Structure formats: structure tokens, C-alpha cells
Structure 1
């Protein structure tokens, strides 16, 4: 009697976890599957995918941006996207993402690599560590992750290290 009970318990512990429901988001010729609990908001010609809570202290909700040709054209101080600089489309001072009472400051590139962005497409992935309020070290910082698909003029900008986002983008389907 002990053996069947132990086997049943073992199978219950190793059974695959239920897959969370997803929904499709189509943008600039590709479709990604995102968790159904995430929300999509149009921002001009771009899309913002809200992935979590919105804090009154933060400059933006937990989210990532899907940007097309216009986002690429104005991604760096009002000029075209440059992989050697963080995504910063305005020419002015920007708020620190996690704590908007501070301004974004010094950016340090942490990583650059090539990665799959769906079948047949490659993205240049760059990760930046951005400090806030340079006059007061250690106040706050955040990570900016950027996927750039040059052939399709697509940018994905994530300021929250969104869990699972890299896997979602690897599984993109181009139409």
C-alpha cells in the first residue's frame, strides 16, 4: 500500500504546471502572445503593454513599449536610434522611471548581443543601467532593455526587466 501512495504523490509533484492564458498582440508585422492579464494601450503610433501595477511614485506603469519606424527615427535625443546610447526620444531631462521625483542620469551599457526575435529575424539586444539624480549617488536606478530589429524598424523598450519578455519576443510570429 505504501508504494502506490508514494508513486501518486511523486506524479502529482512532477506534473506540468498549468499554462497561463495568453492573448495575441499584433504590431508592425509581428504577433506576440502575452499573458491575458497584461493590457495594451495605444501611445500615438506605438503600443505600451502594461504588465503590472501603476505607482504614483513612478514615471510609468510597469510596462514595455513596442515602437515602429517613428520610434526608431526619434529614439535618441530626437534623432535616429543609436545602439551606443539608451533609448531617450526627448531632447530634455527625463524623469527617473521608478521614482519620478528624480531625473535620469548616467547610463552604463551592461550587455549587448544578437538574439532571435521570432523565426527568421534577429534583434540587437542592449541592456543599460541608468542611475537617477546624478548629484545624489545611490538614490535610485533602473535597467533599460532594448531589442532593435533593424530590418523591420522595430524597437522594444523595457524599463522594468519584465519577467518572460525575452521568451515572448523569441516566439514572435512575423506575417
Structure 2
């Protein structure tokens, strides 16, 4: 009950719609509280948390990825993810997340800092990803090297920073 109240309060302060209830999502030794309307879907050995609508024009539904060792080991062009890199698991050209008619044409690191992920240290990186001359999107990455956990958000999910800060580790 306390966690549900905290989740609702944190989502209200971030501008996300208030949710009547929360549910627990567990992955790789940690648990987070998310709105009960969000769904989960296995994605390889990772877990996608679907937060909103699925557009036929986008490459993925509004969501974020919870990744473990496999996603970390192959998180950058088929090799290991490193702090400061765009999460780009393919070694080829990737479709633009919000509109798959376009391909990614470059990325710029715009923010990088140490953050708390359930009371443990993690690195946060934010990129602006270009898709041609007129379209771009934001990729946010939380990476915890000690636990081999990565969280990748392409949709600026409201309240996600707070949700991860309040994660509970086993």
C-alpha cells in the first residue's frame, strides 16, 4: 500500500497520469512498482514493459526494456555495452524507433551522470538520436555494471527515473 501511494505521488509530480493501483515487476534480482495498466512481454532474455499504445509506424510499442547480461554483452553493435555508448545491439543500420520508414543516422550524448537505482550506483546516459534531417528521438539508458543490468527507454516514459530510484534489490 505504501509503495502504491509513493508510486502514485511520484507519477503525479512527473506529469504522468495518476494510477489507482500498482503492480510489481521483478527482473534480474530487483523489483519495481509500475502502474497496473502497464504490461510485460518477454523479449529474448530481457523484459519489455509496455507503457502505452502500439503504433504501426513505430518499431516498438511505447515501452522500456529491462535487460540483463545478454543485453549488456551484446548492447553495442554486437559487442559489450560500455558506459557512454548508445544502446545499439545491431551491427547494421537500425530503423528509427518512432517511425520505421526512417533509419538512425547518428546520436549525440546530451546528459551523463551517476544515479541511484534502488539505492545502488548506476550510470545514466541520455542521447538524442537523429533519423534523417527532420526526425529525432531520445534514448535514455540506466546501466548498472556491477549487476549487469541495463534499462533502455526510447519514449521518455514519465516517472521512470523515480520508479528505478525506488527499485528494491534482493
Give the TM-score taking structure 2 as reference length.
0.88
Aligned residues: 155
Q: CA deviation digits over 1:62-89, x for unaligned, max 9? A: 0000000110000000000022320000
1:20-31 to 2 correspondence within 5 Å? 20-31=20-31
In 2, distance between residues paired with 1:122 and 1:113?
A: 10
Deviant stretches of 4+, over 2 Å:
16-20
Per the alignment, residue 152 of structure 1 pairs with: 147
Give the TM-score taking structure 1 as reference length.
0.86
C-alpha displacement at 1:122, in angstroms?
A: 1.0
Per the alignment, residue 131 of structure 2 pairs with: 132
Structure 2 unaligned runs (5+)? 1-8, 13-17
> For 1:144, what is the secondary structure of its paired residue?
strand
In 2, distance between residues paired with 1:79 and 1:25?
A: 28
C-alpha displacement at 1:19, in angstroms?
A: 5.8
> For 1:104, what is the secondary structure of its paired residue?
coil
Per the alignment, residue 4 of structure 2 pairs with: none
Which has the higher Rg, Structure 1 or Structure 2? Answer: 1
Per the alignment, residue 122 of structure 2 pairs with: 123
In 2, distance between residues paired with 1:20 and 1:174?
A: 25
In 1, distance between residues paired with 2:87 and 2:141?
A: 8
Q: Does the aligned pair in 1 maintain the 2:84–2:112 contact within 8 Å? A: no
Q: Are 1:165 and 2:160 an aligned pair?
A: yes
In 2, distance between residues paired with 1:81 and 1:31?
A: 23
